[in-house]
Amino acid sequence: MIIRQISAFLENKSGRLAEVTKILAEKNINILAMSIADTTNFGILRLIVSDYALAEKTLSEVGMTVSVTNVIAIAVEDKPGGLAGALAVFDKENIGIEYLYAFVEKYSNEAYIILKVEEPEKAVASLLANGIKVLESGLVNAK
């Protein structure tokens, strides 16, 4: 239930994100979720992709600094308060969240939340014990 996320450091300049997405497209790697955080000089692009190993290799080969991180993904109802119950579990279990990003699933009424947490295995067990849907990598089509 742990999902592999690609993180790439990008120069904060026009066209750099377009270049990365083109490189991945040329290798037939589908981007399933994406987040970018930037500063004045660089950004950290975080991606859930259809083939993380190929994405890591491909981006490294073009000279990018790339890392792979374990994250978890959950599904919550896409409605006000849908995320609150899951976050309450983290609070109750004293599990810190380093960051998160979300996307809405196209074919249901669910929002998917990608979370980087301090203790992913404990987080997964706690979420499942509290009835929160934890996604396996295949559910977001990521290897």
Report helix, strand or coil for 22.
helix
Distances (CA, A) of 48 to 80, 84, 86: 25, 23, 21
- Residues 75 and 135 placed together within one structural domain of the fold: yes
- Residue 31's domain comprises 3-69
Asked if 76 and 121 sit in the same domain, the reply is: yes
Given 49, 69, 89, the domain boundary residue is 69
Residues 82 and 92 in one domain: yes
Are both 82 and 136 inside the same structural domain? yes
pTM reported for the whole predicted model: 0.84
Mean model confidence pLDDT for the chain: 90
Domain boundary among 69, 95, 126: 69
Does residue 76 share a domain with residue 135? yes
32 and 83 fall within a common domain: no
* Sole residue written with tokens 């004293």: 94
Task: Please check whether residues 65 and 127 belong to one and the same domain.
Answer: no
Residue 115: half-sphere exposure toward Cβ, Cα within 13 Å: 26
pLDDT tops 60 at residue 139: no
| 76-129 confidence digits (pLDDT tens) | 988 899 899 999 999 999 999 999 998 876 667 888 899 999 999 999 999 999
The rounded distance, in Å, linking the Cα atoms of 29 and 47 is 11
